[in-house]
Amino acid sequence: MGIMVERIISALKKNSRYKDRVEHIEILLPKEPIYGELKKDLSRNIKNYLLKKSIKLYKHQCDAIESLRAGKSVIITTPTASGKTLAFNIPIFERLARDKSATALYLYPTKALSNDQLKVIKEFESLSGIGVNPNVYDGDTPPNKRPKIREISRIIISNPYELHQVLPWHYKWQKFFGNLKFVVIDEAHQYRGVFGSNVAFLIRRLRRICSFYGSEPQFILSTATLANPIEFGENLIGHQFNLISNDGSPKGKKYFIFYNPYFDGVGTLSIHQETKDLFLFFVRNNLQTLCFTVSRKMAELIALWSKKELKESESYLVDKITAYRAGYLPVERRGIENNLKNGILKGITSTNALELGIDVGSLDSVVISGYPGTIISTWQQAGRSGRGVSGSLATLVAFQNPLDQYFMRHPKIFFDKSHEHAIIDLSNPYIVSGHLMCAASELPIQLGEDGIYFGDDAEDILKALEKQGLVQDTPNGWVYSGKGRTTEAVSLANISSEIFKVICDGELLETMDRTQAYREAHKGAVLLHQGETYMVEDLDLKNSLVQVKKRDVDYYTEAMKVVDITIIEEIEKKEIGNFAFSFGDVEVNEQYVGYKIMKYDKVIGMEGLDLPPLNYKTMGLWFTIPEDIRKKIKDENLDFAGGLHGIEHAMIGIMPFHVMCDRWDLGGVSTSNHPDTMEPTIFIYDGFEGGIGLTEKSFELIVEIVKMTYELVRDCKCENGCPACIYSPKCGNGNKPLDKKGTILVLKKSLSKMGIEDV
């Protein structure tokens, strides 16, 4: 396979259709395994298990086992398929074998992963003979089975949503929680942003209850590579962590191709046509290929176009291509799995929003159509190719978006160390407030002891809740005094207590915050939910309801807004050379003026919107541009306001590389004269009530961000600005004024004031 892959790559590089578009090929060298030794031998039972499975432990697995044996909490960041699960299952089984009452809780984000883990644990149990009675306990567990599971299971697999529902009933779980020795949180990087900040307080509620019943579990986090693993672990759990990051598992050789339809700054063919051609190129070269697309519709179109083209030339391949979608029956899914394994299928397309949910095994080649938004998901998708240790291929097809294009010009940044920070905000007052209310309903809150869980503002927030009649100060502590179940009022996926319900045919599809509803669920919007498209028929602001209908469309919408911003309080200011940045509380006023209808990146229509303005307090960063820079821009006959505006857009495009979020989770304002600063000012703020830590972290990393913004705009091959640099599809001012040269010069001069000359 290795030789074949090399031959195909050299064919690609020689082919006049493709060669200019291949911007970079990274060769990831094969790696030999690094095995490890344990200080103290494993028990015979566990050795038996390893023997029967023919497993020899890698160094990083041994490190994790030793840390857990020593009573530490660990965060494991080695890649998927490096044997992370075994690294924590061994010490957990070791402990549960020794201590017959000890228990462990495993939290997984999806049902499919929970079921996979149940299989693994059951096998461990039967091959080792260590009885733990594992069970999944979630929303689908029948009520009559629940008491038995709580009684006999020593390993329970669940998810955060279920834990949120379970905690108020902790007295039924006394035995399990009282003996809880380990909590495993797999795929922990998914717990970031609004969801992650909620889960962080959910975990604190769990720890408080465990402490009440006399246990203090160790935590095991398994995550993808992050820039801030230790900080992330400590924020999510409130514990110190040992980091396990030196991967000892073997790797096959991998070629990673960066393919750029916009290599010339123009892009003559649509990205979807480019994707289809590449997909077919690999399939025709006999590489079993999986193609990830942005939507299910696209996945289907690419499969359809491919079949059509093959019908003319190579009809024997037509039936070897299929689109994968959610909702297949188990028998259909098994059919696809089998046909992939025995090689009958050569090509499969799927939306990247979809957890594949099937065991596709490992393929020869993966095509990723469009940067999926995080480096983590890019690697996860790329990781679908690579059988054992033989060579494999991954191709990223760049869209005309800022980060896609930045990586094409700076591949080293992509393959270097991780820059992505997973953000958890422990100070959003709305989130803290919701979980304080839940906690008060679980056990009375004593401010002295419980301060460690809920932070310094807990008392003020409790007093505010008291005024609303939701909590009461009693001799035992603060207790919940509201009506209804607190866990119903607090959603792990949202911030405010005012949650919008998205309804499709009478069924609840998802929930969103008000800011998100304005942004994504206005009337006429196309809502993307797990790769499926829905049309918004009505946004009912009074009753916080969104009515949608499932519609199979191949266009999408972008809401446009104009924003006003007021500084409430500057919390921190930092000077870098002769340039200053500020961070603090701001109040924004967003007016959604209309939306664009887009098809294959082209605007095909515009509609107005009649929504009242959206006002909320959040956190933001800002900086002013000194007078001499403004003068310099004028002297060069460039547009100063257009330069500021370009910086605002480009910075927002770059920031998700540093603070993992959707680009639209951030908002911005730029003005030649802001009333609060009396100077030309650029603002970037968190698009969530109370803020969610995005601009706070960006403030810490601001020099890197400004530098990268400069490189992005400077290196873009367009003439006067494009969606890959200074244009923003959501700009409420129709991308006016904008001046690319002005943007570059203001950034260059600003960096020079910070003492950074040659970037």
The least distance separating Zn ion from the CB of residue 709, rounded to whole angstroms, comes to: 12
Q: How far is the CB of 620 from Zn ion (least distance, A)?
A: 16
- Within 660-719, which residues bind Zn ion (CB under 5 A)? 716, 718
Between 621 and 725, CB nearer to Zn ion: 725
Name the residue nearer to Zn ion (CB basis): 300 or 648: 648
DSSP 417-466: S--PBPP--S--HHHHHHHHHHHHHHS-B-HHHHHHHH-TTHHHHHHHHH
State in angstroms the smallest separation of the CB of 674 from Zn ion.
15
CB of residue 186 to Zn ion, shortest distance in Å: 40
Looking at the Cβ atoms of 424 and 722, the one nearer to Zn ion is 722
- Residues 120-149, interacting with Zn ion (CB under 5 A): none
Minimum distance from CB of 686 to Zn ion (Å)?
17
CA dihedral over 302, 305, 309, 311, signed as positive or negative: positive
How far, in Å, CA of 464 to CA of 487, rounded? 19
> Residue 396 CB, nearest distance to Zn ion (Å)?
19
Residues 718-757 contacting Zn ion, CB under 5 A: 718, 722, 724-725, 731
Toward Zn ion, which CB reaches closer, 193 or 653?
653
Please, what is the minimum distance in Å from the beta carbon of residue 655 to Zn ion?
Answer: 15
Q: Cβ closer to Zn ion: 400 or 486? A: 400
Q: How far is the CB of 722 from Zn ion (least distance, A)?
A: 3
Q: What is the CA radius of gyration of the chain?
A: 27
Eight-state DSSP code of residue 182: E
Q: How far apart are CA 243 and CA 418, in angstroms?
A: 15
Compose the 452-491 pattern: x for residues touching Zn ion by CB under 5 A, - for all others: ----------------------------------------
- Measured distance CA(630)–CA(731) in Å, rounded: 23
Sign of CA pseudo-dihedral 635, 640, 646, 651: positive
Q: Which of 417, 372, 429, 424 is nearest to 397 (CA)?
A: 372
* 385 and 368 Cβ atoms separated by less than 8 Å: no
Q: Measuring CA to CA, how many Å separate 329 from each of 293, 340, 515, 674?
A: 22, 17, 37, 58
CB-nearer residue toward Zn ion: 387 or 748 = 748
Instruction: Decide whether 609 or 724 has the Cβ nearer to Zn ion.
Output: 724
Complete edge-to-edge strand list for the sheet that includes strand 321-323: 22-28, 254-259, 392-397, 365-369, 289-293, 347-351, 321-323
What is the x/- site pattern for Zn ion, positions 252-271, by CB under 5 A? Answer: --------------------
Three-state SS string over 14-78 comes to HCCCCHHHEEEEEEECCECCCECCCCCCCCHHHHHHHHHCCCCCEHHHHHHHHHHHCCCCEEECC
Comparison of 442 and 648: residue with beta carbon closer to Zn ion: 648
Shortest spacing between CB 177 and Zn ion, in angstroms? 51
- In terms of CB distance, is 321 or 724 closer to Zn ion? 724
Comparing CA positions, the residue from 324, 319, 329, 333 lying closest to residue 352 is 324
Contact in structure between 237 and 201 (CB atoms under 8 Å): no
Q: How many residues bind Zn ion (CB under 5 A)?
A: 6
Residues that bind Zn ion (CB under 5 A): 716, 718, 722, 724-725, 731
